[in-house]
Amino acid sequence: MKKKLIISDPEIMGGTPYFTGTRVPVQTLMDYLEAGDSIGEFLDGFPTVKRGQVITLLEEARTVN
């Protein structure tokens, strides 16, 4: 069974979707990217998030219709 990439639990952070194994909201990544920051800059600020998590999330988001 594939481990979930993103978790949303009403008991944790009020249900805000976050990266598994962290307390980093997915929206924080989106905010960085929308501001023109690189994935590397995001990862420098949030070292608990792994590069693979970010890449997988972006690849999966690209395939959603």
DSSP letter at 12 equals B
CATH number of the domain to which 59 belongs: 1.10.10.10
Number of other CB atoms surrounding residue 29 within 10 Å: 21
Q: What pLDDT is stored for residue 39 in this prediction? A: 97
Structure confidence at residue 2 (pLDDT): 65
Residue 1: pLDDT above 60? no
Whether 50 maps to a domain, the answer reads yes
Asked whether residue 15 is assigned to any structural domain, the reply reads yes
Q: Structurally, how many domains does the chain consist of?
A: 1
Angstrom CA distances, 42 to 23, 30, 52, 64, stand at 14, 10, 13, 23
What does pLDDT average to over the chain?
93
The helix (H) or strand (E) run that includes residue 48 is: none
Q: What type of residue is 32?
A: Y
How many other β-carbons are positioned within 10 Å of the β-carbon of residue 5?
16
Does residue 54 fall inside a structural domain?
Answer: yes
Give the model confidence (pLDDT) of 4-61 as tens digits: 899 999 999 999 999 999 999 999 999 999 999 999 999 999 999 999 999 999 999 8
